[in-house]
Amino acid sequence: QAGSVQQNLKKNRYKDVLPYDQSRVVLSLPAGGGDSDYINASVIQGATKGRTYIASQGPLSSTVTDFWRMIWEYDVKVVVMACREREMGKKECERYWAPLGQSATFGPFTVCDEAETEATGETVVRTLSVTYNQETHSLVQYHFLSWPDHEVPPTAPGVLDLLERARTAQGTHTSPLLVHCSAGCGRTGVICALDYIHDLLVTKQITADFSIMKVVLELRTQRPAAVQTKDQYLFIFRVVASMFESFLQAGGSLSSNPSEERPVCASSSRQTGLRLLPITMTTISGAVPCTASSKAGPSAPPGPPRRRRLTDSGRSGPRRSATTAAFAWRQVSGGKEAGERGISQKRKRADGGVCLAATSLDDDYEDVSPDPQPSLCSPGHMGFNLRVQKPRGPRDLPAEWRRL
C-alpha cells in the first residue's frame, strides 16, 4: 500500500515491483524536501541471528538522497551492486557515488570516493565515505560488472568470489548487507539466496530435506519476485552445487549429524552436468526450515534516530508461510533441460490465455498478474513463463502465502 500512494509512485522504477508493507524499509532520518518515509527497498531476514539484508532497487535521480538516508540510518557497511549504470542503452541505476578522488553532494550528504580498485575482471571495489551533519561514515561498495539484466553470470566462481569479499568486509558487523540491481528483484534475489544458503552451510543447518525452492519462496515473502527468471533460478542450483563441493573438499561436513553425511552429487558435475534428483544427501528438492523469527521485534525508539538497527524496526504482521510445488530441475550434458514436469511449448490457461514455455530470455519472466487457478504459470508456482508486457500495478500476495 505504501508504494502505491500517489506521492510515492514516482519513487518506483517499475509500477509492478513494490515492497510489501510488512517488510519495507522505513526511513525516519530528516533530510529536507518532505522527508517521506518511503523507499523501494525491503528487509530480508537471514538464516542466522543478526544476519539481515536490504534488497533495494537501484536509486533513481529523484531517490538518490533517500538511498543515502537509508545507508546512513541503517549504518550500512557493505553495498553489493549487481548491475551497470547503463545496460542495452537504458539507464539501470543512477550513479550515487563520486568519481575517484572527488566528492559529490546528494541532499545533506557529501560522498567521497576515496579508493577504487579492480579486484577481479568482474568486480570493482570502491571505498566510500559519506558525511552528514559533520559526522563521517565509511563503507565499501562491490560493483559486479558481469551480470547482464535478465541473464546470469557466465560462471559461478565470480559470484562466489563476490560474496566472499562482501562477507569478509562485513566481518562481525551486525548492520544489514545492502544488495541492489536495477529493480531489486532478480539479480538481488539470487545474491541474497546464495548468501542465505552459505550461512545455512557454515552453521550446519543443512538438513536432509534441504530445498532451494523453499529458500527462494521464503525470500519472496519478504521481497516481491526475488529471483525473477528461470535461468536465474537454475543458476542458484549450479552455484550451490559448486559451493557444496568446495566446502566438502575443504574437509567440511554438510550436516551436524554424521549419520546423514553422504556425497552431494552421485557423479562429478564437471563430467555429466548438474543432476538435481532425490538420490543425494542434501537433495536440492526437499524442504528447508525457516530459521528467521516470525515475530515482530520491539518498536523503534521515539523520535527520528540518526541510525537505526533492523532489530529495532521490527516487522509488522505474521510471517507468511510459503507452500511449494513439486518442481524439479535437471540439467544434462550440452545444457539441455528436462524434468520440467511435462511443460509443453503451448498450454491453455484457466483464464483463456496461452502459456508459452520459455524459449528466449524475453519470455522467461513470470506473469505477475493475478491468476485465479494455480498453475505452472502462476507466481506462486514459480513457472517463470511469461513476461509482463505492460505493468499493471501492485498485486496481491498469492493465496498460498496468505494461508496460515
68 or 120, which is more confident: 68
Residue 187 lies in a domain: yes
pLDDT for residue 33: 63
Mention every residue, 6+ apart, whose C-beta is less than 8 A from residue 155.
none
Residue 278 included in any domain: no
Q: Is residue 141 part of a domain?
A: yes
Answer whether residue 331 is part of any domain.
no
In a domain, 85, yes or no: yes
pLDDT in tens, 215-274: 999 999 999 999 999 999 999 999 999 999 999 998 877 665 544 443 333 333 333 333
Q: Is 181 a catalytic residue?
A: yes
Phi and psi angles of residue 138, each rounded to the nearest 5 degrees, phi first: -105, 150
> Sign of the CA dihedral 294, 228, 211, 154?
negative
Predicted local confidence at residue 259, as pLDDT: 42
Identify the H or E element spanning 212: helix 212-220
Based on the structure, what is the number of domains in the chain?
Answer: 1
Task: List the grid coordinates of 196.
Answer: 542465505
CA–CA distances in Å: residue 278 to residues 87, 328, 331: 39, 9, 14
For residue 122, the model assigns a pLDDT of 87
Residue 161 burial class via C-beta count within 10 angstroms: exposed 0-12, middle 13-18, buried 19 and up: middle
Strand duo 78-81 + 103-106: pairing: unpaired
Q: Within a domain: residue 391? A: no
Catalytic annotation, pick one of 83, 93, 181, 192: 181
Q: Report d(CA 138, CA 112) in Å as an integer.
A: 10
Whether residue 159 has pLDDT greater than 60: yes
* Residue whose C-alpha is closest to residue 177's, from 322, 52, 8: 52
pLDDT at 352 over 80: no
Q: What pLDDT is stored for residue 394 in this prediction?
A: 53
289 pLDDT above the threshold of 70:
no
Residue 38 sits in a domain of what CATH number? 3.90.190.10
Query: Is residue 123 very low, low, confident or very high in pLDDT (cuts 50, 70, 90)?
Result: very high
Is residue 299 in a domain?
Answer: no
Distance CA 112, CA 128 (A): 6
- Domain of residue 139: give its range: 2-248
- What is the reported pTM? 0.68
DSSP code string of 23-82: GEEE-----STT--SEEEEEEEE-SSTT-EEEEEPPPPTTTHHHHHHHHHHTT--EEEE-
Q: Is residue 49 part of a domain?
A: yes
Buried b (16+ CB within 10 A) or exposed e, 197-236: bbbbbeeebbbeebbbbbbbbbbbbbbbbbbbbbbbbbbb
